[in-house]
Structure 1
Amino acid sequence: MKNKGLRYYLNASFGVGNIGFLLCRRFYDRLTDFELGIGEGILFVFILTGAAYLIYCAINKQHPLQEKSLECQKND
């Protein structure tokens, strides 16, 4: 993947999704069911997007934040 900004977004979406989900679960008593459902739904999409990118990187043996593959770095 060549686009540096997209790599950072996809990697950060996993962390943001997990932290946001923890906050939703922490403050579930203060949120209405609608707000909780919308928040969890959006954050679940972030988590799935980030996880899919990390799995893609693992299959292709790439570092999630670098352009070179892990095999190329070992040879350098």
Structure 2
Amino acid sequence: MNIPQPHYPSPLGRMQANPMDVEATKRQGWREQHILVISEDDKRLNFLERQLIRSIGERLYGQTNCVPPKGGQHG
């Protein structure tokens, strides 16, 4: 009779990082330390808000290396 060997979890399993909720971390950073982390491509922003984010980022950190897409978003 073949008896399967018991499976023991690998001790390396404890080394794996737990996935983190990025939005919750951003929210906590804003509420506790007044640090705002936002992408100018965030779909929750309208056109003027994205432009404001871009201009603040360029003023503080310089021009980006990526070329903005041609055209614009309508809607």
TM interval, shorter chain, is: under 0.3
Higher relative contact order (CA 8 A, sep 6+): 1
Larger radius of gyration between Structure 1 and Structure 2: 2
Comparing both structures, which one devotes a greater share of its residues to helix? 1
